[in-house]
Structure 1
């Protein structure tokens, strides 16, 4: 049996606030048990995996078994979960079961790349708690989502962007620097305008281009057809001040 689980996509990953400070919050990336189930269904088939829960000294363990058709036997991996906090509705045991399932999924390699996530601090609105020492989210209902994620050849996270529920980017890692847009050069009509002005003033094209290169050292034009709109406006004003050639 040669299993290779796909790397998690942005839609597979959830964002959870771990710690809140004066200037923002530290967040963690995690997967839900539903993600593991979907990946298992996709890769091995819904009839070729199963799970089993059992208690060991008060700790709930989940065992995920996958059928190895080569050996014609079930192969199992397991891990225990952590009981979630009391929510008033008695769901903490359910949270422990879900956590155990996800941890067993990690044992199989599902989502293990999340362990390579960088320290992730987002700038967001917070407020001081009544104790005067700690902080909480200004909006307790604020949610954050992974917009994009990328991996290097070793499966380690090297690109990550997170936005809030309004679509505002709050964290970016490894994004490419925005490329400078291609310059928009003047059209033939404006080139003709410059040529007529050069003829009127007697200024040669080479001298004009040298002058523009001095004024625009980052984008010096090497031909009239490579003059930008900004340079055109500048040079036309300069030409208009020149007298007619004698």
Structure 2
């Protein structure tokens, strides 16, 4: 029972299909016509990747109090007959604060194993958007175009084959 192999560890780094990547607005331009889009993965996609690559038997996660209102998560993989752990943490999120902290901590911990790490290399992506004025501030409403259409070197961030997307 050796657990996860080196080849499987490399598979954690595979890019996700474009439709698995979600985008959120970090900030809106002064004119309100563009928003800085940040790419992210859903926590379920992270868990699915771990299940596909490691099988459910060879990975586990546990959350812990990270102090100062932060929640930590560590992900363990069974490698060479021992558990190897990596961790990270997150604070409450704007939407469903506690649930969001659990998901964010898991996703951040998964990045330390290489899952979705490439998304940090996408750079600044300004996407046309709809916004509205609320209490004197410009607020994001929705993107009006697919963020992938505004990613420089888009092909470098997407799977080239069906196997890479699996």
For residues 39 and 95 of structure 1, what CA distance do their matches in structure 2 show?
19
CA shift for structure 1 position 54 = 1.1
1:73 is matched with: 82
**Comparing both structures, which one devotes a greater share of its residues to strand?**
2
Does the 8 Å contact 2:122/2:151 carry over to 1?
no
Deviation at 1:41, TM superposition (A): 0.6
Between 1 and 2, higher relative CO (CA 8 Å, sep ≥ 6) is seen in 2
Residue of structure 2 in register with 1:19 after alignment? 27
Q: Which residue of 2 aligns with 1:115?
A: 120
Residues 55 and 124 from structure 1, CA distance in 2 versus in 1: closer, same or farther, beyond 3 angstroms? closer
Superposition TM-score, scaled by structure 2 size: 0.76
Query: Is 1:82 the counterpart of 2:95 in the alignment?
Result: no
Q: Where do residues 27-176 of structure 1 align in structure 2 (5 Å cutoff)?
A: 27-58=37-68, 59-68=70-79, 71-85=80-94, 87=95, 91-131=96-136, 134-137=137-140, 140=141, 142=142, 161-162=148-149, 171=150, 173-174=152-153
* Structure 2: tracts of 5 or more residues without a match: 156-166
RMSD after superposition: 2.3
TM-score, normalised relative to structure 1? 0.53
Report the Cα distance in structure 2 between the residues aligned to 1:7 and 1:38, rounded to whole angstroms.
13
Q: Please give the residue correspondences for 1:205-216 in structure 2 after superposition, counting only pairs within 5 Å.
A: none
Measured in 2, the distance between the counterparts of 1:110 and 1:118 equals 17
| Number of aligned positions between the proteins | 144
Relative to 1, partners in 2 of residues 1:67 and 1:175: Cα closer, same or farther, differing over 3 Å?
closer
Q: Higher Cα Rg: structure 1 or 2?
A: 1
Measure the CA separation in 2 of the matches of 1:119 and 1:93: 28
Matches of 2:139 and 2:16, distance apart in 1? 30
Shift of 1:145: 7.8
Which consecutive unaligned segments of at least 5 residues does structure 1 have?
147-159, 163-170, 177-246
Take 1:79 and 1:19, find their aligned partners in 2: how far apart are those partners? 25
